[in-house]
Structure 1
Amino acid sequence: MNMSHLPDAAWLDADRLVQDCLDDVARGRALSVPGGVYKAVVGIVQVAPRGIVRRVSGRLASGRRTAR
């Protein structure tokens, strides 16, 4: 997948990512969403109409596909 179009804010530090996930495991959480940007995305997706979520997701996915 070509992810070069993502802004710098979308990238997470690997060490921080792992630590946040391990902290969530220690708290007994079955799902871990590290990083403020991704927490906001999850919150928006939970309240947005499904049709809009599917449309936006499809457009984002089509931009990541590489030609073979």
Structure 2
Amino acid sequence: MISRPRDLAGRMAGRRTRDDGYLRETFSLPREKARAKARDFLTRYPKQAYMSGVESWRELPDGNIEFTMRRLRSAD
């Protein structure tokens, strides 16, 4: 089996569990739908209460935007 750095990174990411109190959701949508989804997410989970935001994003070769939104589990 030929291993590439990308394969190793994928395996390591699969093992990692984040226990930092955030819930994450990843989406892959066309640009305009991605903007609308992010706005909707931030409206439902305001930054002041949930510390929500876009954690990461990238443009895929097919033109879609892949992005990860994060928020705290609760505002209490």
Scaled by the length of structure 1, what TM-score is found? 0.31
Per chain length, whose mean CA-contact separation is higher, i.e. which structure has more relative contact order (CA < 8 Å, sep 6+)? 1
Scaled by the length of structure 2, what TM-score is found? 0.28
Q: Which structure has the highest helix share of the two?
A: 1
Q: Which structure has the highest strand share of the two?
A: 2
